[in-house]
Amino acid sequence: MIEALRHSPCRLPAAVRLALLGDKDCPLPPEAIGSEDPDVRFMAALALGHLDTLVATLSSDDELLRFAATTRLIEADAFAPLADTIRAAPPDHQDRLLRQIADRAKPALEIREAVFDIAATTPNRDVCHAAVRVLCHGCPPGEVERLADAARGESRSYQAILQTAGLVPESLERLGIYFLDHRVFRADQYGMRDIAKQGRMPAGFVPKYWARADEKGRIELCGFAEMQLEEYADENLHRFLVGVAFGQDSVPVRASVWTCVYRWYRRLDDRGDGPLRIETESLKRFFGSVAEFVSVFTRFLQDRSLAELLRQGSLYERVSRLIRYSDDGVLQVLATQPKAALELADALKAVAQDVAFDFRLRIECVSYLGRLGAQPEFREKMRVAIAGFEGTDLDYASKQALERLN
């Protein structure tokens, strides 16, 4: 075809077609752009990027000519004249044009309002998604919520916002609030892992807006916090989650926190125990003091929903291991706080007596009573408490605990 055009007697019509085919051996004659033949003139404008001719073509009655001219103007980053043309284009043309603009990854500020209008009114999901992609580039901080509105709850569009909008931490915080308030905050949303990286969503987002979320939202916040911990292990976020695990939230929320924290711990070491231990330094790290932990742990053991909570996943085993591998240094601190120590002992005894709890956990509770009784201040009271399990299914555990006191 190129060879035939090169030898065509129709000089200008052949020349503009060669130019559009990319033939560099036959330069386009300068008079082509002023040709009286509208086809020649238009093709010359496409080849040369002649903006005046292309803009004039936007008023043509020919839909395909308008589409071709718009495409070429987009390539030239000449967005200002395109708003009405893209608004009036059929959905398939809107989709292609908006995707072309988005793929250039540059702000198209001159048509931003038109694109917002298209996103808000189009019934076509692909067009809406393409519009959001355009709006992501050059999104000012004050338009974060408006951009999220434009997504109209569509997951692909949320992904585009999270991955391509380049939002600063303050804007990401506002976007997170929007997601929470509109009940669309999801840890498994594509793009959330991108903003969990250090320097993106503020590390304090989850603790700061925890109270703002409902139960479902808090479960999703747990998953997002886990991503942030994997990325850079923020200490304040870590302590906050541990506090929630031993706190008063609903069973599904606390179960999610325990699961997320220990899933992260398994990535830190093979045993998966992590730094949360009943040891003096660990308790100071997470609770401020041994005394504060004892108060929290006692309340935790007395929680009426504890049996239901510990039935979730492997949480029985987690709490059992905490008790089993507790440090004797904590017992020495307890010896100086008899009231708190005896309240803890009563809570442990109550769990051991309740057959609704896992048998292994009940054994650990009895065993810890024996360890507590090794402190002279508590020996007789612990002896009486442990003796109450003789003849029960915890008979062997009670005998072992009593042997420590003899």
pLDDT tier for residue 128 given thresholds of 50, 70 and 90: very high
Question: Is pLDDT at 47 greater than 90 in this prediction?
Answer: no
pLDDT at 46: 83
- Running DSSP on this structure, what letter comes out for residue 212? G
What was the pLDDT predicted at 19? 73
- Render pLDDT for 16-44 as a digit per residue (tens, 0 to 9): 777 777 777 677 777 778 778 888 888 88
Q: Note the pLDDT of residue 243.
A: 97
Residue 164 to residue 179: CA distance in whole angstroms:
17
**Closest by CA position to 283, among listed 356, 335, 334:** 334
Q: In the prediction, which pLDDT does 42 show? A: 84
Has residue 163 got a pLDDT over 90?
A: yes
CA angle (140, 145, 148) in 5-degree steps = 105
Q: What is the mean pLDDT of residues 369-381?
A: 93
Instruction: With H, G, I as helix, E, B as strand and everything else as coil, classify residue 44.
Output: helix
Length of the chain: 406
Q: Inform me whether the pLDDT recorded for 2 exceeds 80.
A: no
The average confidence (pLDDT) of the chain is 93
Provide, rounded to the nearest whole percent, the portion of the chain with pLDDT above 70.
99
CA 60, distance to chain mean position in Å, is 47
Residue 385: predicted pLDDT: 96
| Number of CB atoms found within 10 A of residue 274's CB | 18
pLDDT at 4: 78
pLDDT band at 273 (very low <50, low <70, confident <90, very high): confident
pLDDT reported for residue 197: 97
Q: For 21-143, where are the alpha helices, taking DSSP H only?
A: 38-48, 51-57, 63-75, 83-88, 91-103, 112-121, 125-136
- From the number of C-beta atoms within 10 Å of its C-beta (0-12, 13-18, 19+), residue 405 rates as middle
Per-residue pLDDT tens for 291-348?
999 999 999 999 999 999 999 988 999 999 999 999 999 999 999 999 999 999 999 9
Q: Would the pLDDT of 186 be above 90? A: yes
Confidence check: pLDDT of 371 > 90: yes
Is the entire prediction scored with pTM above 0.75? yes
**Residue ranges of the domains in the chain?**
308-406
Q: Pick the more confident residue, 87 or 5.
A: 87
How confident is the model over 380-399, as a mean pLDDT?
A: 95
231: DSSP letter: H
pLDDT digits (tens, 9 = 90+) for 82-94: 999 999 999 999 9
Residue found by looking up tokens 């808090």 in the block: 218
Higher-confidence residue of 305 and 273: namely 305
Q: What is the mean pLDDT of residues 167-174?
A: 96
pLDDT range class, residue 261, cuts 50, 70, 90: very high
Give the per-residue pLDDT at 44.
83
User: Mean pLDDT over residues 398-405, rounded?
Assistant: 91
For residue 153, is pLDDT > 90?
A: yes
